[in-house]
Each structure stands twice: as structure tokens, then as C-alpha cells.
Amino acid sequence: MSAFHADRIFDGTDWHEDAVLVVEDGRVARIARDVPGAQRVAGWILPGLVDLQVNGGGGVLFNNDPSAEGLARIRAAHARLGTTSIMVTLITDTPEVTARAVEVAAASDVMGLHLEGPHFAVARKGTHDPGLIRPMGAEDLRRLEDAAGRVRLLCTLAPEVVGVDAIRRLVAAGAVVSLGHSDATAGEARAAADAGASMVTHLFNAMSPLTHRAPGLAGAALDDARFRVGIIADGFHVDDAVLRIALRAAAGRIFLVSDAMSTVGTDIAAFTLNGREILRQGGRLTLADGTLAGADIAMIDAVRHVVDLGVGLGEAWTMASALPAAAMGDASRGGLRAGQRADFVAVDEGLGVNGVWIGGVAP
């Protein structure tokens, strides 16, 4: 048993003042008032952050280095910043790189693998290489079904490209299906939800927009309660006024993602993706033509951003912990209630990270 005493502890729902987090066998045993010998922790204790869209960190981009060593560096870079669970993300790439990513993620201790592409609408490619985007063939579907049996799998795809039968099969195989990089109508998005799609990837970015007569995928995401909705809160991907509207419209369903690239935790000024240079300037990552290419934030930065917009800390933290975990159907993460994983973070009042523990142990 180990115990951690802090001025405040947030269990995912409630705040506990002058309390002790008790950990046994890597799990939360209880939150108590007084435990002799408890370790004093500077700041407040909150659940570890959960990020479903991590492309890289620590100088490593998973597409460029889909290896156990590369993944370990990515995970460590985010852990230092309070993110204790990641869905490592591979964006559109070759079948060979994708197969390697599945092997590496399945053998690791990350939360799972997010395959963002390659089955997209080319018109909504964003920074993805159009030469690698393709329809989903029978062999592609079979490989994804196999992968879903080996690793927790999140698949971002365009429903109008893939079709509802493929979505049904992926969900039946155990994958979580998210809609993104898509020109789908609201009706096509709802049909995908009928087939089992349950998530929308980086709301507003690389998707059919919301207009007053054509709601598109963005409108369906905000209107249809069956969708859990990810959003990048970095001040660049979504204007703050629109971010505030989305937070109100999809309250309880909308969660934060970083879309982090290899720059997180480093001072590197540029890197390559599928042979193209990505530039880091003024908090933005872009291709040479100015197209946004992922984000230069970790999850703690997204939390700070929405708190600065007036969202309460408990609500903001839930959007970065319990809600993304719930979107993946994982009740063991994102909170500090009895039986949950003892993954937690200590922060100061300015949301600076004072310490991180995974399974009750500092990494």
C-alpha cells in the first residue's frame, strides 16, 4: 500500500479537501481523511490525462518510427506532461507501415492504437498525403478486423467512402469507429451511427461544415447524442468563439485531444511527414503552404486553454480524462475512484505539473 496526501484531490466527479489517495496493487483503494505515513504531494491531485490522438512526442513521430523504442519515447514525453494514457496515432500511410504500427502497439503498454486513415475523402485530406488515401478494399477490412482482435483499436474513416457494412463489421470486430476527414452529409453521418460509429475526430477540421441548410458532419456531431466528439483546443484549429459554442452544444460528450506531433517536449523547429517538411512557428505546425499539420500541444495545454476560456477546472479536466476514456469504453481510466487505475497528476494552481504517477508509481 502507498498513500499520497494533498491539499485537494479530484476523483473525476468530486473534490476532496485535505485528503489522502490510498493505492493498492496499482489501483485506487480509497480516498481517506488521514493515513499515517502518507507521502505529502505539492499541489492538487487529479486523474491522469487520457489522449486519444497522439501522433508523436519527444522528437519522435510514430509514422516515421513505428518501433517499440520510438513509442516508448513518445509515451514518456507525454507522461512527463501529465498524460498517463495515450492512443498512439498513425496517420495515413502504406499498408506495410500500418502493419508494423499494429504489431508495435499490440506489444506495448499504451492504451491502444488510433489509425487515422487512409480511407478518407481526398477533398478533406488536411495534411494527409493524397497519394496514400484510398478506398477500403476487402483485404483492408480483413486486416483491420484482425488488428481489432489484437489491440484496442480506434479507426477514423469517412463513412461515405467506406460504407455502412464495413462500419458494422469493424464494430462487430471490437474496433471503435470515428468519423473524420469526410465530406459526409448529416444523413450519411447518422447512417454511420446506426451502423455503430460512435465518435467524431477533431470536430470542424477536415470535415463537411455546418451551414443552415446542410448540417454536414460537424452539425451531425453536435446534434446527434450518439457521437462522442473530439476537439483540438489550441487556439488555432478552432476559433475560441466556435470552441465555446461546441462546448455548450455537446456538453458531456465533447472531449479534448492534443493531435500532438513529435515537437512536444522538445525544441525542434521542423520535421518531416511522408517526405514533406512540417514547420514549427508561433505555436503552429504547418506545411509550406500553411496547411495545419497536427498540433504543438500536449493535453495539459488544451486543459489550460479551455480553463482560460472560463470553463471550470473540474469540467475541463473531465474533458481530458474521464470523457475520452469513456469514448473508448474504458471505465478503468480517467478517475480516482475505488478500483480504477492509480494514474494521477499533481498540479499547482497555475496548472503546472508537479508530478506524475502511473499505477501509483512515478515513471
Separation CA 202–CA 139 (nearest Å): 27
Q: 285-303 burial, b for 16+ CB within 10 Å, e for fewer? A: bbeeeeebbbbbbbbbbbb
Q: Are 154 and 128 in contact (CB under 8 A)?
A: no
Separation CA 60–CA 273 (nearest Å): 11
Among residues 71, 166, 151, which one has the least CA distance to residue 106? 151
Residues 6+ apart with CB under 8 A from 184: 121, 158, 159, 160, 192, 207, 208, 216, 217, 220
Q: Are 200 and 209 in contact (CB under 8 A)?
A: no
Among residues 332, 303, 300, which one has the least CA distance to residue 316? 303
Separation CA 110–CA 154 (nearest Å): 13
Q: For residue 27, what are the β-bridge partners?
A: 24, 341
Separation CA 158–CA 209 (nearest Å): 14
Q: Which among 93, 129, 234, 259 is annotated as catalytic?
A: 259
For 301: left if phi > 0, alpha if psi spans -120 to 50, otherwise beta; the answer is alpha
Q: Are 295 and 22 in contact (CB under 8 A)?
A: no
Residue type, 234: D
Residue 229: phi and psi, rounded to 5, are: -125, 120
Separation CA 271–CA 277 (nearest Å): 6
259 given a catalytic annotation:
yes
Q: Active-site residues: which are they?
A: 259
